[in-house]
Amino acid sequence: MVRIIDRRFDSKNKSAVNRQRFIRRFKKQIRRAVSDAIRDRSIRDLDNGEHISIPARDLSEPHFQHGQGGVREQVFSGNDQFSSGDLIGRPPGGGGGGRGSGKASKDGESEDDFVFHLSREEFLDIFFDDLALPNLVRTQLARITDYKTQRAGHSADGSPANINIVRSMRGALGRRLALGSPFAARLRELQQTLDELIARHGEDSPEAAEVRDEIGRLRAKIEAIPFIDSFDLRYNNRIKVPKPTTQAVMFCVMDVSGSMDEGKKATGKRFFMLLYLFLIRTYEHIDVVFIRHHTVAKEVDEEEFFHSRESGGTVVSSALELMESVIRERYSSGEWNIYGAQASDGDNWDNDSPICRDLLDKGVLPWCQYFAYIEITPGEPQNLWREYEKLVAAHSNFAMQRIDDPAQIYPVFRELFKKSLA
């Protein structure tokens, strides 16, 4: 008989462990379902969980069983259609589909797809799994030094919450054996002497009684050894070690001029909300600078950036000038990874577009690890796009993408921030 025993470690929180194991095993199918689910999401439910389904055929499990072995013949009762040696064909027709598609049939059978609920955290982890800020390097330790806790052996003092029971009991057992060993050896000798005296003089002899008293005193000494002493206690020792972190800042620049109608603004907001969600989830220490502009650029907070209804004319260069000014004032020390993302419909005052190109070329891109320009328009590329195109060949840290409709937000976002294979 074959016995297979699974000796892998399993924690007390078995449900969570098994859930993570399931997600890792079927990550390819789950990621495909997440990509399909997120296409139709609105800004409000961008970071919610999701019910996804995995085809039943992908959930097949390997299993072991005992084969019959040898050549066997079996006769089934009630068979009036086949003889020995006939090949049995597949049943005609098809079974009901897992999704309830197709026509009804009285023959066949199948399994429904496995429906699995991803929590908000699991959903976003899978969606952002293969994304990263390009060219991110650790230029210097962050202003606030991070520490991570790690095990560093055991100590003789510490918090009761950190007591190591196994190590403490092992020490107590060793101490009891060491202290009681001389008494135990003497006890064995006395017991042998008592047996000889009883055999020679009888059980009630004075010599036997004297030996019994000494045996009693030795046993009392052994029992007086404490089962566990404060000297035996050992505590898990944990120390904090510095953890290098990366400083980064992302500039979010959005055009809110009159040419950006509500549809374009909603698309731009959705893109930046996805970017913001990606940044705060993936990087613990990162600054985000929000800049809105029409004829005048203004640095705003997150609430105003996503919800303000202010509008006006179009002078894109005002935003780039403000961005360069903020970089020089706050992030010019060489300790920062600087990133930028600009969203506009590309409709700019004609005389201002060449100024924007020069500002980006000489004032912004030299500071940046990566800068992405998003043009939101269903028509032909606008004058700002044509000016920015002249920079692509000269700057490897500059990328341009166009979004015609909201369905393209996620593919464009993933294209801009996909992890480098290098």
| Domain assignment present for 1 | no
In a 3-state reduction of DSSP, which class is residue 374?
A: strand
Q: Tell which wins on pLDDT, 279 or 339.
A: 339
Residue 348 burial by Cβ neighbours in a 10 Å radius (0-12, 13-18, 19+): buried
For residue 27, give the nearest of 6, 46, 54, 3 by alpha carbon. Answer: 54
pLDDT of residue 97: 44
Q: Distance between CA 176 and CA 225 in Å, rounded?
A: 7
Q: Mark whether 309 and 231 lie in a shared domain.
A: no
Q: What is the pLDDT of residues 138-189, one digit of tens each?
A: 444 334 455 667 777 888 887 788 888 888 888 888 888 888 888 888 888 8
| Domain assignment present for 109 | no
Total number of domains constituting the chain: 3
| Domain assignment present for 65 | no
- Max CA-CA distance within the chain? 126
Cβ contact 301:252 at 8 Å: no
Give the residue ranges of DSSP H helices in 202-349.
206-224, 262-282, 302-307, 317-330
What percentage of the chain's residues is helix, strand, coil (to nearest 5)?
40, 15, 40
Q: Mark whether 369 and 257 lie in a shared domain.
A: yes
| Domain assignment present for 97 | no
Which residue range(s) make up the domain with 255?
A: 248-417
Q: Mark whether 339 and 388 lie in a shared domain.
A: yes
Cβ contact 105:95 at 8 Å: yes
Q: Mark whether 256 and 228 lie in a shared domain.
A: no
pLDDT of residue 101: 47
pLDDT of residue 356: 92
| Domain assignment present for 263 | yes
Structure letter (DSSP) for residue 359:
I
Q: Mark whether 264 and 401 lie in a shared domain.
A: yes
Residue 272 burial by Cβ neighbours in a 10 Å radius (0-12, 13-18, 19+): buried
In the listed set 237, 259, 291, which residue is the last one of a domain according to the structure? 237
- Beta bridge mates, 338: 249
Q: Distance between CA 231 and CA 175 in Å, rounded?
A: 9
Q: Mark whether 167 and 203 lie in a shared domain.
A: yes
Q: Distance between CA 267 and CA 1 in Å, rounded?
A: 65
- Is the pLDDT score of 112 beyond 50? yes
Q: Tell which wins on pLDDT, 292 or 416.
A: 292
Q: Mark whether 398 and 355 lie in a shared domain.
A: yes
| Domain assignment present for 215 | yes
- Is the pLDDT score of 373 beyond 90? yes
Q: Mark whether 121 and 205 lie in a shared domain.
A: no
| Domain assignment present for 135 | no
Q: Mark whether 218 and 259 lie in a shared domain.
A: no
Q: Mark whether 214 and 360 lie in a shared domain.
A: no
Average pLDDT, the chain: 76
Please state the φ and ψ torsions of residue 81, each to the nearest 5 degrees. -115, -25
pLDDT of residue 159: 78
For residue 247, give the nearest of 333, 368, 337 by alpha carbon. Answer: 337
* Tokens matching residue 226: 């404490």
Q: Tell which wins on pLDDT, 237 or 398.
A: 398
Percent over 90 (pLDDT), the chain:
14
Q: Mark whether 258 and 208 lie in a shared domain.
A: no
Q: Mark whether 273 and 324 lie in a shared domain.
A: yes
The CATH number linked to 342 is 3.40.50.410
In the listed set 237, 260, 292, which residue is the last one of a domain according to the structure? 237
Long-range contacts of 5-8 (CB under 8 A, 24+ apart): none
Amino acid at 280: I
